[in-house]
């Protein structure tokens, strides 16, 4: 039996970040990972010879720069490269090219609607303003509004000040924003359907909501509030794939003396006298520690690796009803060449960005309707990137790797569970969708990996394959994340903590959840804090 100061369950990027900060404070830390590789959903593996797939998360924008800098992740091999524009595919020949250059983008929008081109500037200013407030909360522990502890009051005061600085009108707008649908929010700006739809898609990614569902406006914001080197709203690729983020954090962890054990699935968390004392592995080994930190989602943690009898009243129920619906699929494709898209100029700057296969607002909503009925749409929303157009390390020269994120895909189907045959049909639907805009696309396919929510759950452990470890709706955000009254990373069993994106600030490969949890753990263990303050580019 080995003894540690801290056990972290799960070597996802948040688990690794948490462990790195605990190790930096001098604690003896071990990360236990069930798979034979690390990274959780920030992972890159060679799944076809010569091709490295980031088969879960695929782009990066929320990664806290302060953590990157503080843990010296560049020295551990991490370089984040911003990628340029997106091609939005509408109905038929309709294309909206999101050029990287502001003036070019404006002229392109004007082609669709002069009014919308102007309104885009107002939208960007408004979104930046909203983002700036939320960004300030990312690397902070949410205050408990009911505790009246000095620290919580101080934190509430900080928030009040930030709110106050926005001006009175914005306070009303903010409250509206959190409860609105993406469609309603955008109606105030745009008339053109494709413009609206292309701006609405971030509101449904990873979410069991439609563009017309209340709450999707916030999801939209969640996806545009990140930055690359201070450019808010920009998205980047990690050189070497998303796994490079996890590898770099693991490097920082090793540098601070932390340990990672792969192929070590935790079977059960050990509880004695209402205190967590360690874990039992599948192979029967016991590992003991002063604290146990779960990087697994809240539902998985409380319903699968904790014994219900060990839990205080009500927690099991809260966990069971934690909203973590699976809604997304992923099709990873190795290509023998760069696909060409109909109606798109052969501009390498455009073709090195992303593709959004949208259709219209109605197509998006209909795809959601299918999900509700336990099937996938024939015209799903597909968000694609071809990282190999930017990253020479993920595919052989001249060959390409394409990540296709699919919204929506049900966790279980109306006609019974997922089968390999159904999965293949789902994959074919996605390929057809892309091929609709790219004749000849199918001829380029060398290898393909189709992932349904079911596959993601089986492999990564995310309940229902929910990419955010729990939906990002107001009832599950901030001090209510994962459960009301437990928003500060401490769980209702002593010495048990959560550090995954089931906690504030939620999903998106920010590393903030893991870092925030480390700050709280170090506080409880009376160790000096090693977690840096965030860096706001003097916003």
Partner 1 sequence: MSTPDPYAGERLKLSPFHPRQQALNIRDAWTSWNGYKFAEHYYEAEYEYFCVRNLCATYDISPMQKYQIQGPDAQTLLNRMVTRDVAKVGLNRVAYCVWCTDAGRVIDDGTIFRLAADRFLLTCGSPCTAWLERSAYGFAEVEVKDLSDALAALSLQGPTACAVLKKLGLDGIDAVKPFDIRHFSLHGTALMVSRTGFTGDLGYELWIEPDRALELWDALYAAGAHYGIHPYGETATNMARLEAGFIMPGMEFNEALKTVHFEHDQTPFELNLGWLVDFNKPHFSGRRALLEEKRRGPKYTLTKLDVEGNRPAEGGSRIYGNKRCTKAVGYVTSAMWSPAAKANIALAMIRTEHRQGALWAEIYYEKELRQYSRVAKCTPLRKPFWAPPRARATPPPDY
Give the tokens for residue 132. 């700036």
537 near partner 1, judged by CB under 8 A? yes
81 near partner 1, judged by CB under 8 A? yes
391 near partner 1, judged by CB under 8 A? yes
| CA angle centred on 486, ends 483 and 487, rounded to 5° | 90
Q: Nearer Cβ to partner 1, position 237 or 287?
A: 237
Q: Nearer Cβ to partner 1, position 212 or 536?
A: 536
> Nearest-CA neighbor of 15 among 517, 532, 528, 521?
517
Span from 43-51, 64-72, 159-167, 304-312 in contact with partner 1 (CB under 8 A): 64-72
- Rule CB under 8 A: choose which of 32, 73, 250, 271 binds partner 1: 73
| Whole-number Å distance between alpha carbons of 328 and 49 | 26
- Looking up tokens 């159904």, which residue turns up? 422
Q: Nearer Cβ to partner 1, position 393 or 419?
A: 393
DSSP 136: H
The CB-of-76 to partner 1 minimum distance in angstroms stands at: 11
Give the tokens for residue 208. 């069991």
- Rule CB under 8 A: choose which of 91, 121, 179, 393 binds partner 1: 393
The CB-of-525 to partner 1 minimum distance in angstroms stands at: 28
532 near partner 1, judged by CB under 8 A? no
Q: Nearer Cβ to partner 1, position 67 or 96?
A: 67
| Whole-number Å distance between alpha carbons of 3 and 155 | 35
46 near partner 1, judged by CB under 8 A? no
Span from 54-62, 429-437, 473-481, 531-539 in contact with partner 1 (CB under 8 A): 531-539
129 near partner 1, judged by CB under 8 A? no
| Whole-number Å distance between alpha carbons of 441 and 431 | 8
Q: Nearer Cβ to partner 1, position 180 or 248?
A: 248
Distances (CA, A) of 51 to 83, 240, 402, 403: 20, 11, 10, 12
Site for partner 1 in 237-276 (CB under 8 A): 239
Q: Nearer Cβ to partner 1, position 8 or 389?
A: 389
74 near partner 1, judged by CB under 8 A? yes
- Looking up tokens 């990690």, which residue turns up? 238
397 near partner 1, judged by CB under 8 A? yes
Q: Nearer Cβ to partner 1, position 241 or 329?
A: 241
The CB-of-198 to partner 1 minimum distance in angstroms stands at: 22
The CB-of-132 to partner 1 minimum distance in angstroms stands at: 11
167 near partner 1, judged by CB under 8 A? no
- Rule CB under 8 A: choose which of 28, 45, 100, 428 binds partner 1: 100
Return the sign of the alpha-carbon dihedral for residues 365, 370, 374, 378: negative
Strands laid side by side in the 95-98 sheet: 95-98, 86-90, 354-359, 381-385, 400-407, 328-335, 445-451
Query: What mask, x for binding partner 1 by CB under 8 A, covers residues 314 to 353?
Result: -----------------------------------x----
Distances (CA, A) of 85 to 201, 237, 405: 15, 13, 17
Tally helices (H) and strands (E) across the chain: 17, 20
As a residue count, the chain comes to: 539
The CB-of-125 to partner 1 minimum distance in angstroms stands at: 10
The CB-of-515 to partner 1 minimum distance in angstroms stands at: 15
The CB-of-71 to partner 1 minimum distance in angstroms stands at: 10
Q: Nearer Cβ to partner 1, position 165 or 414?
A: 165
Q: Nearer Cβ to partner 1, position 80 or 289?
A: 80
CB 438 within 8 A of CB 337: no
**Is the peptide bond between 408 and the residue preceding it cis, with omega within 30 degrees of 0?**
yes
392 near partner 1, judged by CB under 8 A? yes
CB 466 within 8 A of CB 482: no
Q: Helices (DSSP H) in 321-414: which residue ranges?
A: 348-351, 361-372
Q: What's the CA dihedral at 85, 89, 90, 94 to 10 degrees?
A: 80
DSSP 470: S
The CB-of-532 to partner 1 minimum distance in angstroms stands at: 11
Q: How many residues bind partner 1 (CB under 8 A)?
A: 27
Reduce the secondary structure of 243-305 to three states and give it as a string: HHHHHHHHHHHHHCCCEEECCCCEEEEEEECCEEEEEEECCCCEEEEEEEEECCCHHHHHHHC
62 near partner 1, judged by CB under 8 A? no
| Helix or strand (DSSP H, E) at 135 | helix 114-138
What backbone torsions phi and psi does residue 406 show, to the nearest 5 degrees?
-120, 125
Span from 206-214, 262-270, 385-393, 439-447 in contact with partner 1 (CB under 8 A): 385-393
Span from 15-23, 73-81, 113-121, 402-410 in contact with partner 1 (CB under 8 A): 73-81
Q: Report the interface residues with partner 1, using CB under 8 A.
A: 65, 68-69, 73-74, 79-82, 84, 100-101, 228-230, 239, 349, 389-393, 397-398, 535, 537-538
């Amino acid at each position: 039996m080995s003894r540690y100061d801290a056990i972290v369950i799960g070597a996802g990027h948040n688990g690794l970040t948490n462990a790195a900060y605990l190790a930096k404070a001098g604690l003896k830390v071990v990360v236990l990972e069930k798979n034979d590789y690390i990274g959780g959903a920030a992972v890159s593996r060679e799944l076809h010879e010569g091709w490295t797939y980031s088969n879960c998360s695929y782009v990066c924008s929320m990664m806290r720069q302060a953590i990157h800098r503080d843990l010296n992740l560049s020295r551990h091999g991490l370089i984040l490269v911003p990628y340029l524009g997106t091609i939005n595919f509408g109905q038929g020949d309709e294309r909206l090219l999101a050029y990287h250059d502001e003036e070019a983008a404006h002229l392109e929008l004007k082609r669709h609607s002069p009014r919308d081109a102007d309104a885009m500037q107002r939208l960007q200013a408004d979104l930046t303003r909203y983002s700036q407030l939320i960004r300030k909360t990312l690397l902070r522990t949410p205050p408990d509004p009911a505790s009246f502890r000095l620290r919580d009051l101080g934190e509430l005061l900080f928030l009040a000040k930030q709110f106050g600085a926005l001006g009175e009108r914005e306070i009303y707008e903010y409250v509206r924003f959190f409860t609105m649908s993406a469609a309603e929010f955008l109606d105030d700006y745009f008339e053109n359907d494709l413009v609206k739809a292309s701006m609405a898609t971030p509101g449904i990614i990873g979410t069991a909501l439609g563009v017309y569902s209340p709450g999707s406006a916030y999801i939209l914001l969640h996806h545009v509030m990140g930055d690359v080197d201070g450019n808010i709203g920009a998205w980047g690729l990690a050189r070497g794939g998303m796994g490079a983020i996890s590898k770099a954090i693991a490097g920082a962890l090793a540098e601070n003396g932390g340990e990672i054990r792969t192929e070590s699935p935790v079977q059960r968390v050990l509880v004695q006298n209402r205190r967590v004392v360690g874990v039992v592995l599948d192979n029967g080994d016991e590992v003991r520690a002063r604290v146990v930190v779960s990087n697994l989602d809240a539902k998985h943690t409380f319903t699968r690796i904790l014994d219900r009898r060990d839990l205080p009243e009500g927690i099991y129920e809260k966990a069971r009803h934690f909203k973590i619906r699976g809604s997304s699929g992923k099709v990873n494709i190795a290509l023998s060449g760069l696909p060409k898209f109909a109606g798109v100029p052969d501009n390498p700057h455009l073709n090195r960005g992303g593709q959004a296969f949208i259709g219209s607002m109605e197509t998006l909503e209909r795809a959601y309707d299918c999900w509700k009925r336990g099937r996938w749409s024939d015209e799903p929303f597909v968000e694609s990137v071809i990282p190999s157009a930017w990253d020479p390390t993920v595919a052989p020269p001249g060959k390409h790797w394409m990540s296709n994120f699919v919204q929506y895909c049900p966790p279980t189907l109306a006609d019974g569970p997922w089968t390999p045959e159904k999965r293949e049909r789902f994959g074919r639907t996605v390929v057809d969708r892309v091929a609709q805009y790219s004749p000849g696309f199918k001829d380029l396919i060398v290898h393909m990996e189709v992932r349904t929510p079911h596959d993601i759950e089986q492999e990564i452990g995310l309940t229902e394959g929910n990419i955010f470890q729990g939906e990002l709706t107001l009832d599950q955000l901030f001090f209510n994340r994962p459960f009301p009254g437990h928003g500060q990373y401490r769980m209702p069993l002593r010495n048990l903590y959560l550090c995954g994106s089931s906690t504030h600030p939620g999903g998106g490969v920010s590393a903030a959840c893991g870092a925030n949890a480390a700050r709280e753990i170090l506080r409880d263990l009376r160790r000096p804090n090693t977690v840096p303050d965030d860096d706001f580019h003097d916003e």
